[in-house]
Amino acid sequence: MDPSNQPRKPLEPVELPPGIKWIAIGVVLVVVLGLITLVAAPMLLPAWQEHQLLENGTDATAKILKIIDTRDKVNENPVVQLSVEVHPEGGEPYRAAIVTPLSAVDLKNYDVGGMVRVRFDPKDPKKVALVGPITPAPQPKPAQPKAAQPKAAQ
């Protein structure tokens, strides 16, 4: 009888030792979490660094030298690069760049030549985070000359 004509027996499932299944699940989880970290870290790191600067940085003022639209958006808000001249208290002014998203409403508060509040890392002064615009003190309105009152007829 030809062995190729014999019906094949169905394959029986292989029983793995009890610990192997959990090791395989652990390896898959480590690989998946590693891939998520590799993808997410470059996106989350700048936000975390900015948060650290805003929490722990040294206060300073800065003059806006240039505003550049990077053409990127975060939550529909334009990301801009502000070229600034930082004026640390008791230190020499220096130039730095700040890349940050600003809403269209907030963007109106920033203009070339305007002053902003920033925080910087004293160990690495090129790391600068935007706190907000310095709003000028309200100017008193000039007095309006009183209109001449017509004299009442006597």
What does the domain layout of the chain look like in residue ranges?
Answer: 57-133
**pLDDT above 70 covers what percent of the chain?**
85
d(Cα 83, Cα 99) in Å, to the nearest integer? 9
- Over 37-101, what HEC string results? HHHHHHHHHHHHHHHHHHHHCEEEEEEEEEEEEEEEEECCEEEEEEEEEEEECCCCCEEEEEEEE
Mean pLDDT, all residues of the chain: 85
Q: pLDDT of 93-150, one tens digit each? A: 999 999 999 998 888 889 999 999 999 999 999 999 999 998 765 556 666 666 555 6
Q: pLDDT of 52-87, one tens digit each? A: 899 999 999 999 999 999 999 988 999 999 999 999
Are 58 and 78 a contacting pair, CB within 8 Å? no
d(Cα 73, Cα 80) in Å, to the nearest integer? 9
Q: Which of 4, 144, 135, 7 has the alpha carbon at shortest distance from 61? A: 135
Q: How high is the pLDDT of residue 82?
A: 95
- Read off the DSSP letter of residue 53: H
Class of the CATH-defined domain 57-133: mainly beta
**pLDDT above 90 covers what percent of the chain?**
50
